[in-house]
Amino acid sequence: MPARQLPVQVRAKCSHLMLADPSFDEPAPVEMLIGADIFPQVWKNKCSSLGPGFPSVYSSVFGWVLIGPVQEHPDIGAQAMLVSLVSSMESIIERFWKVEEPEAAPPQFSEDGLCEELFNSEMRKDQAHQPSTYDG
């Protein structure tokens, strides 16, 4: 049933068991498919784990059956690669403030900007470009 040859460690872990398929670790087509409706009738209520990275074994009327995933290399434990990028505290804080700094307010939102806007909207120039006065 497996798509490729299983590691020899899997066979070694099962050497003491009477297996339903003695050539379980070799790639081959499925010989028999048992549905969930039949499984309880062939299962003998015994199961055991072969350890981390190995499938579990279940006792059946046909012999022991392996069920579950197999790690490619079960003897190899978890691997980790630690990477550390050290930036200066100064550059980290500088980046923080660039992100957190609000954009400058448009000029019309300041008091000077409001005065200038009001002046420009109210002032009129005559032909000599002199400010005109209003009697109003």
Quote the number of domains for the chain: 2
Mean pLDDT of 31-52: 85
Residues 59, 93 within the same domain: no
Q: What percent of the chain has pLDDT over 90?
A: 0
Host domain of residue 46: 8-67
Q: Say if 12 falls within a structural domain.
A: yes
Question: What's the rounded Cα separation, in Å, for the pair 100 and 113?
Answer: 25
Q: Say if 96 falls within a structural domain.
A: yes
Q: Say if 135 falls within a structural domain.
A: no
Residues 22, 57 within the same domain: yes
Q: Say if 22 falls within a structural domain.
A: yes
Q: Say if 77 falls within a structural domain.
A: no
* pLDDT reported for residue 132: 62
Q: Say if 117 falls within a structural domain.
A: yes
* pLDDT reported for residue 120: 80
